[in-house]
Structure 1
């Protein structure tokens, strides 16, 4: 005798447009914090990833940073779809978690290796688990999650 079990779990793809909007706004807010707390990060380190600095260029750094924020916002939207999009609080918490992951993997581990590979003058040590950077990424994730929650049904 065979038995079958069926599960009706619905997984959404998330709203990628809301992810882009949330990612852009989150990256702008984060960029403002970076400029206030450590301008060389935005003016030299981030544009150096693509050999766009030196000379220091906060505008180019912000452009690169916001572009990264938009792409990471799309990944966040996919995660929101997998966990089941929910309340603003749930999405804010997911955003904070996503901010911590992006800090640990991308900023603390990948960025120092990448900057070293391109010969950047702003190459941080490896690993670079800097607490200010954690704060910036948590703020990015929080703003991303809240904005995503507010616009997901309108896009």
Structure 2
């Protein structure tokens, strides 16, 4: 039995640092260019490092005090261990402290229950892309409006 201490750290990273995880987790059968976003260079990207290894990523796109998070992913071998939760909760706390009015995302329908744990509510806006159903989910920050 290992008694190794797990060291987790959240850091701002570059958009290029997100690409491997985006590709591996989300669209492994597409070329890596498929996971690049046109406005990646204008976003803020964060990563959760476990014992120095980048394991979870999220990209934030802000406009008019509203933030969309995109390309939120955790390496498959680290899924189910709470690391994505640590990252998303930290980002939500950060945004709330910064006075953001609203946070939203395009959630894969089958993952919407996960986001509900963070008080993101499904809207009536749904769409399909590449055979995957999505629902727009959002969280309004009460004291920042």
Tell me, yes or no, whether TM beats 0.5: no
Larger relative contact order (Cα-Cα within 8 Å, sequence gap ≥ 6): 1
TM-score by length of 1: 0.27
Counting helix residues as a fraction of each chain, which structure ranks higher?
1
Q: Which has the higher strand share?
A: 2
TM-score (norm 2): 0.29
The higher radius of gyration belongs to 1
